Amino acid sequence: MKDRRWEANPGENLLFTVFLMPERISNPLSTIPLLLGLSVAETLEKYLDLEPSVKWPNDVLVKGSKVSGILCEGGRGWVLGGIGININQSVFPPGFKTMGGSLYTLTGKFHDPFDILSELLKVMGENINSSSWQVRLNKRLYRKGTTLDYLSGFPGSSVPREVRIIEVGKEGQLVVETQPEGRTLELFSGEFESAPPSRDFRFHLE
Protein backbone atom coordinates (compact mmCIF):
# COMPACT_ATOMS: atom_id res chain seq x y z
CA MET A 1 0.00 0.00 0.00
CA LYS A 2 2.31 2.65 -1.34
CA ASP A 3 0.20 5.62 -0.16
CA ARG A 4 0.37 4.44 3.46
CA ARG A 5 3.54 4.67 5.50
CA TRP A 6 4.71 4.82 9.09
CA GLU A 7 7.80 6.89 9.82
CA ALA A 8 9.82 6.10 12.92
CA ASN A 9 13.40 6.33 14.12
CA PRO A 10 15.05 3.02 15.07
CA GLY A 11 14.10 1.78 18.52
CA GLU A 12 11.43 4.42 19.20
CA ASN A 13 8.19 2.70 18.27
CA LEU A 14 6.57 -0.65 17.64
CA LEU A 15 6.16 -1.65 13.99
CA PHE A 16 5.24 -5.30 13.57
CA THR A 17 2.98 -7.83 11.86
CA VAL A 18 0.95 -10.61 13.45
CA PHE A 19 0.20 -13.80 11.53
CA LEU A 20 -3.31 -15.10 12.20
CA MET A 21 -4.98 -18.35 11.13
CA PRO A 22 -8.68 -17.85 10.24
CA GLU A 23 -9.72 -21.34 11.37
CA ARG A 24 -8.69 -20.39 14.91
CA ILE A 25 -10.74 -17.20 14.95
CA SER A 26 -14.40 -17.45 15.95
CA ASN A 27 -15.29 -13.83 15.14
CA PRO A 28 -15.94 -12.70 11.54
CA LEU A 29 -12.70 -11.97 9.69
CA SER A 30 -14.01 -8.50 8.83
CA THR A 31 -13.74 -7.61 12.53
CA ILE A 32 -10.01 -8.33 12.79
CA PRO A 33 -8.79 -4.71 12.32
CA LEU A 34 -11.19 -3.62 15.07
CA LEU A 35 -10.21 -6.48 17.38
CA LEU A 36 -6.57 -5.51 16.96
CA GLY A 37 -7.40 -1.83 17.49
CA LEU A 38 -9.36 -2.63 20.64
CA SER A 39 -6.42 -4.67 21.92
CA VAL A 40 -4.03 -1.77 21.31
CA ALA A 41 -6.38 0.68 23.05
CA GLU A 42 -6.88 -1.53 26.10
CA THR A 43 -3.15 -2.17 26.37
CA LEU A 44 -2.14 1.48 26.08
CA GLU A 45 -4.70 2.51 28.68
CA LYS A 46 -2.58 0.69 31.27
CA TYR A 47 0.19 3.23 30.60
CA LEU A 48 -2.03 6.32 30.41
CA ASP A 49 -4.41 8.26 32.62
CA LEU A 50 -6.55 8.71 29.50
CA GLU A 51 -8.81 6.28 27.65
CA PRO A 52 -7.76 5.70 24.03
CA SER A 53 -10.48 5.75 21.38
CA VAL A 54 -10.87 3.34 18.46
CA LYS A 55 -11.55 5.14 15.21
CA TRP A 56 -13.36 2.99 12.68
CA PRO A 57 -12.01 1.07 10.96
CA ASN A 58 -8.32 0.94 11.86
CA ASP A 59 -6.85 3.70 14.07
CA VAL A 60 -6.35 4.32 17.77
CA LEU A 61 -6.45 7.93 18.97
CA VAL A 62 -5.81 9.68 22.29
CA LYS A 63 -7.11 13.24 22.70
CA GLY A 64 -7.50 13.45 18.92
CA SER A 65 -3.92 12.38 18.18
CA LYS A 66 -3.23 9.16 16.28
CA VAL A 67 -1.03 6.82 18.30
CA SER A 68 -1.64 3.62 16.36
CA GLY A 69 -2.73 2.42 12.94
CA ILE A 70 -3.65 -1.05 11.69
CA LEU A 71 -3.77 -2.49 8.16
CA CYS A 72 -4.86 -6.05 7.40
CA GLU A 73 -4.37 -8.30 4.42
CA GLY A 74 -5.81 -11.78 3.91
CA GLY A 75 -5.32 -14.84 1.74
CA ARG A 76 -6.31 -18.49 1.79
CA GLY A 77 -5.58 -19.76 5.27
CA TRP A 78 -3.86 -16.66 6.60
CA VAL A 79 -4.40 -13.08 7.75
CA LEU A 80 -1.65 -10.54 8.30
CA GLY A 81 -2.25 -7.70 10.72
CA GLY A 82 0.25 -4.85 10.36
CA ILE A 83 0.37 -2.67 13.49
CA GLY A 84 2.21 0.58 14.15
CA ILE A 85 2.26 2.14 17.64
CA ASN A 86 3.99 5.38 18.57
CA ILE A 87 5.84 4.73 21.83
CA ASN A 88 8.77 7.12 22.34
CA GLN A 89 8.55 9.30 19.23
CA SER A 90 8.67 13.02 20.05
CA VAL A 91 8.86 14.67 16.61
CA PHE A 92 6.38 14.01 13.82
CA PRO A 93 6.93 14.94 10.16
CA PRO A 94 4.53 17.43 8.57
CA GLY A 95 2.09 16.54 5.84
CA PHE A 96 -0.04 13.90 7.53
CA LYS A 97 -3.79 14.52 7.76
CA THR A 98 -4.08 13.19 11.30
CA MET A 99 -1.94 14.70 14.05
CA GLY A 100 0.47 12.16 15.50
CA GLY A 101 0.96 11.45 19.19
CA SER A 102 2.87 8.91 21.27
CA LEU A 103 3.01 7.55 24.79
CA TYR A 104 5.98 9.84 25.37
CA THR A 105 4.20 13.03 24.20
CA LEU A 106 1.13 12.08 26.25
CA THR A 107 2.90 11.10 29.49
CA GLY A 108 6.31 12.80 29.31
CA LYS A 109 7.90 9.42 30.07
CA PHE A 110 9.86 6.90 28.01
CA HIS A 111 8.45 3.38 27.81
CA ASP A 112 9.98 0.02 26.93
CA PRO A 113 8.45 -1.02 23.56
CA PHE A 114 9.03 -4.71 24.26
CA ASP A 115 7.20 -4.58 27.59
CA ILE A 116 4.24 -3.07 25.75
CA LEU A 117 4.48 -5.67 22.98
CA SER A 118 4.46 -8.51 25.51
CA GLU A 119 1.35 -7.11 27.22
CA LEU A 120 -0.35 -6.40 23.87
CA LEU A 121 0.09 -9.96 22.64
CA LYS A 122 -1.60 -11.26 25.80
CA VAL A 123 -4.55 -8.91 25.36
CA MET A 124 -4.75 -9.71 21.66
CA GLY A 125 -4.89 -13.43 22.41
CA GLU A 126 -7.85 -12.82 24.72
CA ASN A 127 -9.70 -10.50 22.35
CA ILE A 128 -9.38 -12.35 19.05
CA ASN A 129 -12.15 -14.81 20.06
CA SER A 130 -13.93 -12.57 22.56
CA SER A 131 -17.74 -12.47 22.54
CA SER A 132 -17.82 -9.10 24.36
CA TRP A 133 -15.56 -7.14 21.98
CA GLN A 134 -18.44 -5.23 20.37
CA VAL A 135 -19.72 -3.78 23.65
CA ARG A 136 -16.24 -2.78 24.79
CA LEU A 137 -15.32 -1.26 21.44
CA ASN A 138 -18.51 0.80 21.19
CA LYS A 139 -17.72 2.36 24.56
CA ARG A 140 -14.48 3.61 22.97
CA LEU A 141 -15.81 4.39 19.49
CA TYR A 142 -14.36 7.69 18.25
CA ARG A 143 -16.95 10.38 17.48
CA LYS A 144 -19.87 8.13 18.42
CA GLY A 145 -23.11 10.11 18.31
CA THR A 146 -21.63 12.93 16.23
CA THR A 147 -22.52 13.95 12.67
CA LEU A 148 -19.81 13.82 9.98
CA ASP A 149 -19.50 13.95 6.20
CA TYR A 150 -19.09 10.45 4.78
CA LEU A 151 -17.55 9.56 1.42
CA SER A 152 -18.40 6.11 0.12
CA GLY A 153 -15.66 4.15 -1.60
CA PHE A 154 -12.33 5.70 -2.42
CA PRO A 155 -11.57 9.35 -1.60
CA GLY A 156 -13.01 11.75 -4.16
CA SER A 157 -15.26 9.14 -5.74
CA SER A 158 -18.60 10.49 -4.55
CA VAL A 159 -20.43 13.45 -3.07
CA PRO A 160 -20.19 13.52 0.73
CA ARG A 161 -23.34 13.12 2.78
CA GLU A 162 -24.02 13.78 6.44
CA VAL A 163 -24.35 10.79 8.72
CA ARG A 164 -24.51 10.34 12.47
CA ILE A 165 -22.34 7.58 13.92
CA ILE A 166 -24.40 5.07 15.92
CA GLU A 167 -22.21 2.02 16.59
CA VAL A 168 -20.02 -0.73 15.19
CA GLY A 169 -21.98 -3.85 14.24
CA LYS A 170 -21.09 -7.49 14.86
CA GLU A 171 -19.54 -7.86 11.39
CA GLY A 172 -17.31 -4.83 11.94
CA GLN A 173 -19.52 -2.53 9.88
CA LEU A 174 -20.16 1.06 10.97
CA VAL A 175 -23.85 1.68 11.59
CA VAL A 176 -24.87 5.27 10.84
CA GLU A 177 -28.02 7.33 10.45
CA THR A 178 -28.35 9.57 7.40
CA GLN A 179 -29.11 13.23 8.01
CA PRO A 180 -31.75 14.61 7.80
CA GLU A 181 -33.66 11.54 6.52
CA GLY A 182 -32.94 9.37 9.56
CA ARG A 183 -32.30 6.23 7.47
CA THR A 184 -29.99 3.60 8.96
CA LEU A 185 -27.04 2.48 6.83
CA GLU A 186 -24.30 -0.09 7.38
CA LEU A 187 -20.91 0.98 6.03
CA PHE A 188 -18.11 -1.43 5.21
CA SER A 189 -15.65 1.00 3.59
CA GLY A 190 -15.13 4.72 3.02
CA GLU A 191 -13.78 7.76 4.80
CA PHE A 192 -14.99 10.73 6.81
CA GLU A 193 -14.27 14.19 5.48
CA SER A 194 -14.84 16.36 8.55
CA ALA A 195 -12.90 14.11 10.92
CA PRO A 196 -9.28 12.97 10.45
CA PRO A 197 -9.85 10.51 7.58
CA SER A 198 -9.45 6.77 8.06
CA ARG A 199 -8.74 6.38 4.34
CA ASP A 200 -10.51 3.61 2.52
CA PHE A 201 -10.37 0.16 4.08
CA ARG A 202 -11.16 -2.97 2.11
CA PHE A 203 -10.57 -6.40 3.59
CA HIS A 204 -10.32 -9.09 0.89
CA LEU A 205 -9.95 -12.82 1.28
CA GLU A 206 -9.12 -14.78 -1.85
| Average model confidence (pLDDT) across the chain | 86
| Closest-CA residue to 200 (of 159, 191, 162, 192) | 191
Tens of pLDDT, residues 28-81:
999 999 999 999 999 999 999 889 999 998 899 999 899 999 999 998 899 999
CATH superfamily ID and name for 14-140: Bira Bifunctional Protein; Domain 2 (3.30.930.10)
Backbone φ, ψ for residue 163 (5° rounding) = -140, 150
Tens of pLDDT, residues 102-148:
999 999 999 999 999 999 999 999 999 999 999 999 999 999 999 98
Most confident of the following: 86-100, 116-130, 188-202: 116-130
For the residues of 45-65, what is the DSSP string, one character each? HTT-SS--EEETTTEEEETTE
> Residue 157: pLDDT band by 50, 70, 90 thresholds?
low
Domain boundaries, the chain: 14-140, 147-192
